[in-house]
Structure 1
Amino acid sequence: MDKTSRAFLFRERLAGALDSRGLNRSDLARAAGLDRSTVSQLLSEDQPRLPNGQALASIASSLSVSADWLLGLSTHQGVAAEILDRAVQFAEADRNPVDDHLLAWQKEAAGSKIRHVPANLPDVLKTEAVLAYEYAATDYRTPGQAITGTRDQQALLTRPETDMEIAVSRQALEGFARGEGLWSGLTSDLRRTQLIWMGDLLETYYPSLRLHLFGANDRYSAPFTVFGQKRAAIYLGQRYLAFSATSHVRLFTSHFDDLVRHAQIRSHEAGGFVRGLGDAL
């Protein structure tokens, strides 16, 4: 954009900001500490001009807008702190199913691709027995709440517009099959049932639901979900840190796509692989 075009855009945005606030040129001159003649030149219909740095800062501050927005360098009208507050938000639950947030964001992104990296196994593919075992000792979510939340997520799988990709490390599934770590107290029968049921679900809902298994020795990821192009959320425990800025969402999307590109077990093989782990128990 050349200087003349930027001056016309500046005038248009400045005039719009004044109109939306019910202010006139004299009001702006007083608030920004400028001569009225200076304001008139900036808003000239025929030959608008750009302000100097000090005048620009005063105008932006008095109108509570971003100087970058006035100059056409940003599409966000608000000042930086307000933009950050909107772009990054905490979502938390006090003894309520954290997945209430996930479910709402998932519904919001209906018809768009959802990319998900779970903390262990994906809740949407867990049996009720595994959920009951996992949440039996937690003080922030009861097994019943976990099961109800998962049922709601599973119901979304039956919708024709569903497009969900999940990336999990191959070692996480193999560790589950062996009963390692968190799963050390879960019987082999329950682990077998879980894996066979999970494999069946993957084959039933493919290609609307796709699981990719990457190598933990080759790639690492914190748990997060990308909801279409609107939002990304990283899981912090009993809280989600949610991002709505386009650049942030693209960053998470790029990271997920990298996990998919380096998957050791591809989505069309995942159902059979998972079921095979169960059959081997």
Structure 2
Amino acid sequence: MLEVQSLTKHFQVGDTTMTAVDGVSFNIARGEVFGLLGPNGAGKTTTVRMILGLLDPDGGWASVDGFRTADQPIAVKSRLGFVSASDGIYPWLTVREMLLYFADLYGVDAALASERCEHLADRMDIQHLLDRRAGVLSTGQRQRVTLVRGLIHDPPVMLLDEPTRGLDVVGVQTIFEYMEILRDAGKAVVVCTHRLDEAERLCDRFGLLHNGQLKHCGSMQQLRDETGRQNLVDIFVDLIGDGAGSVAVE
């Protein structure tokens, strides 16, 4: 469903060329949650931006549902759902108006959009919020609306960039519930995070990034067998040595 092959990205910083992503490759199947993990600056967000088509790679390619980002960017964007820590709520619209507006941007038929809106609102328990102005919602309510918005066009692939950043315990639990909805719907999911304890609960497989390179990739058991360590925190401590303090595990 999602294939990433040898993605590479360089940035020029003064007279120095910095390699932000260095030949990263992985595949994600339908109904699978893949954790793209690493400390700040590891290359997670740059990788996601290349998958989204927001950055052109200097090498390699990404394919979403059979469409390559560089060749058919509009087709790729229509097949992706994106959720980030920044909610981007339109405060003067009601929740229903905003969800239907985004569905229209993706070319979803109006009747189908209304049906999806009701169904997803029921799954995420926001029916009572649909006709409220988005600007008056609490942080947790805004989060649930953002999660529904990412699914309104029924994309086969979902990208979640630091979805639990700044959330309390209840908000984090909402993300776990959302993952079950995505699995049930057969979505291929990428979760980018540096919160390793949460990643172990959320994801089926993991790709561990450090300095732009994918150092380990596989299920938790495969990573244990490969490294001799029992959890992601210990694997990363070994991987980055003195830089281990930059890995957040809260």
TM-score by length of 1: 0.26
Higher helix share: 1
Higher strand share: 2
Higher CA-based Rg: 1
